[in-house]
Structure 1
């Protein structure tokens, strides 16, 4: 109970400060930074599972509100974009792992898992079953998610004309009579996804139910701000809680490797996003969020806060996770055979 109170207080203060300073996506970046600093200072941080789950459902339902018939009409143009995303993932994974081995002395298995662009929970579960440096892999992956959470909103103004609004305009809030059934359906579907082992189950369940209702025209409007804003703040706090138990010395030792790896991933993602934007006439900001190898839930929240196309972003991040889910076990099995031969 006490860690949750400290975390909530730090997250609320971070959101308020970021809003006052005019920081893009303040409800996400502010709490992420303040809770991270609290954790690194030795503070006890954490959030109850029910609050985390409620956050995922709410953000998922809000994401689905952007899946309009007009947005779905552009889906025929996405296969080319998904193909370029796969190429970017291969470059980040292959060259990033090589970079970690040669510059920082990582063993091949740890380098592979640390360089994986996303799917943190899956990567960590694999790390516990193979001979890999689990603390090092965990720290580098967590630093990557935090860095991308903080970098993307500040890169965004450089890629669009004018100034980004801290709270972008969106659809009118949906009626409570429609919101209640959507949330109930989202929870049921999310729990079903969770039993099937699907990543970000509650978030994807929320988006699936909401998207179906909005795409069919049965439901209109977004989640009211009084509900969506706390969900974004909670998401930021969740990122910060991943640094619980991590000392500043551990962070410093992993910072160089994580910074170089994240910088490389950002360059590759920027290049691929720019190519997609030019070829398919997709807004650069939307393409960047879709190609940024951050956490699924974090990037989905980012798409809403920065007024990007949530359907396009969701399709690409789900595709990235599915691709990694299929490819990583194969790569790990091959790496393990090489380790056994040695």
Structure 2
């Protein structure tokens, strides 16, 4: 799939422990257009790990692999594997602020090394035909001037990177946890808008603090795409109108019940291959967010999905509990 065919209007952020293949399958039922991202996977895990870190479900397309790393050769190896497996894009993480990431010299600290990022992008582009993209912050620590950001964009785009997703907060690498880094540094949307103005030839997506499709529409007046993280996870039914409201697709909006109906056979297949119910239902607890009885739905799933022998009946019983709880 070429860059031109990837609709970047709306994407779901890579979120560790959250955007696994089960969540992505669930999300795809609600939006056919949203670009989905894997959790960040380190090059070390792919190259040396025991498990299959590249597994995804065919219906997830379009789906991008987010890589964490800073060794150009290792990133090229992983990008090539990703392309061979059928991923539609490879994304380099230059935004994660955690200590573990800094110790491995990747994530947000790489913003201070744009030449290395450019080298990484170039190495990946040499071996794949799919887009190689970058997700960054607007700055790190005291390096948070507009000039710092434009220098990063200048150097990295010169390596052939045409797509950037920018989280509109800087990252504090010292003293703040990853969770605090998502909330404490102030959002500066105007800075991302200005990047798009100054680099009209690049595809610029904005990320950070977006909680509604109405907000997404406002951003899309200034940038090419909007990436939504926590809201798409905690209130997943927001995805049900993405195609119609943001992407101009004339299609009926899927109902919550239809989402459940499509998830049940997927759950059955997962269980029959030795998987556990809660691997999937943990991603579904927010489906009825804002609906009367939703608390009963959440509680029933949370209390029963991990029990021995739990199967699809638990989901049906959770719906019944919700009906009673209204």
TM-score over 0.5 for the alignment?
no
More helix by percentage: 1
Which TM-score bucket, shorter chain as reference? under 0.3
- Alignment TM-score, normalising by the size of structure 1: 0.23
